[in-house]
Structure 1
Amino acid sequence: MLELSSAELSRWVASYLWVLFRIASVLMTMPVFGTQLVPTRIRLYFALALTLLVAPQIPEVPTLDALSLSTWVIIAEQILIGAAMGFSLQLLFQVHVLAGQIVAMQMGLGFASMNDPSMGISVAVVAQVFTMLVTLLFLAMNGHLVVVEVLVESFTTLPIGETLAVTDFEALVYRFSWVMASAILIGLPAITALLIVNLSFGVMMRAAPQLNIFSIGFPLTLVFGLFILWVLLSNVLGQYQELAANALVWLRALVRAG
Structure 2
Amino acid sequence: MNPLLHLTDAQIGAWVASFMLPLFRVGSMLMAMPVFGTTMVPKRIRLYLALAITVVISPTLPPMPVVDALSLQGLLLAGEQIVIGSLLGFSLQMLFQAFLIAGQILAIQMGMGFASMNDPVNGVQTAVVGQFFTMLVTLLFLAMNGHLVVFEVLVESFTTLPVGGGLLVNQFWEVIMHMSWVLAAAVILVLPAITALLVVNVAFGVMTRAAPQLNIFSIGFPLTLVMGMLILWLSMADILNQYQPMATEALQWLRELARAR
- Confirm or deny a common fold (TM above 0.5): yes
Match of 1:176 in 2: 179
Structure 1: distance between partners of 2:255 and 2:174:
10
CA distance in 1, matches of 2:168, 2:230: 49
Residue 102 of structure 2 aligns to a residue in which SS? Answer: helix
**Among residues 63, 67, 73, which one is paired with 2:66 in the alignment?**
63
CA distance in 1, matches of 2:187, 2:171: 28
1:159, distance to aligned residue in structure 2 (A): 1.0
Matches within 5 A, 1:29-48: 29-48=32-51
Match of 2:81 in 1: 78
Unmatched tracts of structure 2, length 5 or more: none
1:123 counterpart SS class: strand
Cα distance in 1 for residues equivalent to 2:79 and 2:16: 16
TM-score (norm 2): 0.96
Corresponding letter in the other structure for 1:18: L
2:129 is aligned with 1:126 = yes
Name the residue aligned to 1:106: 109
1:233 aligns with 2:236: yes
In the TM superposition, what is the alpha-carbon distance from 1:203 to its structure 2 partner? 0.6
SS across alignment from 2:166: coil
Partner of 1:135: 138
**1:16 Cα deviation (Å)?**
0.5
- 1:114 and 1:163 map into 2 onto residues whose CA distance is 42
- Give deviations 1:29-66, integer Å, cap 9, x for gaps: 11111001111111110100111111121111111222
Residue 91 (structure 1) shift:
0.3
Q: Report if aligned partners of 1:103, 1:190 keep a CA contact under 8 Å in 2.
A: yes
Offset of residue 67 of structure 1? 2.2
Residue correspondences, number:
258
* Helix, strand or coil at the partner of 1:202: helix
Cα distance in 1 for partners of 2:108, 2:166 equals: 46
Q: Deviations over 1:183-216 (max 9, x none)?
A: 0001101111101100110110011001011001
The answer to whether 1:15 aligns with 2:14 is: no
Which residue type is aligned with residue 134 of structure 2? Answer: T
Distance, in Å, in 1 between the alignment partners of 2:194 and 2:214 is 25
Whether contact under 8 Å (2:12, 2:69) holds in the other structure is no
Kindly indicate whether the alpha-carbon contact (under 8 Å) linking 1:95 and 1:180 is maintained by their aligned counterparts in 2: yes
Structure-2 separation of matches of 1:95 and 1:250: 15
Q: What percentage of aligned pairs have identical amino acids?
A: 62
Q: How does 1:191-230 map to 2 (within 5 A)?
A: 191-230=194-233
8 Å Cα contact 2:30/2:36 also seen in 1: yes
TM-score by length of 1: 0.97
- Tell me if 1:163 matches 2:166: yes
Q: 2:97 aligns with which of 78, 94, 99?
A: 94
Question: Any idea what SS the aligned residue of 2:117 has?
Answer: strand
Q: Which residue matches 1:245? A: 248
Provide the alpha-carbon RMSD of the alignment: 1.0
Mean Cα displacement is larger for which, 187-196 or 65-74? Answer: 65-74
Instruction: Indicate the SS of the match to 1:169.
Output: helix
* d(CA) in 2 for partners of 1:34, 1:108: 31
Distance 2:175 2:260 in 1: 14
Distance across 1 between alignment mates of 2:259 and 2:98: 24
The residue number in structure 2 matching 1:151 is 154
Post-superposition offset of 1:170: 2.6
Q: Which segments of 5 or more consecutive residues in structure 1 lack a partner in the other structure?
A: none
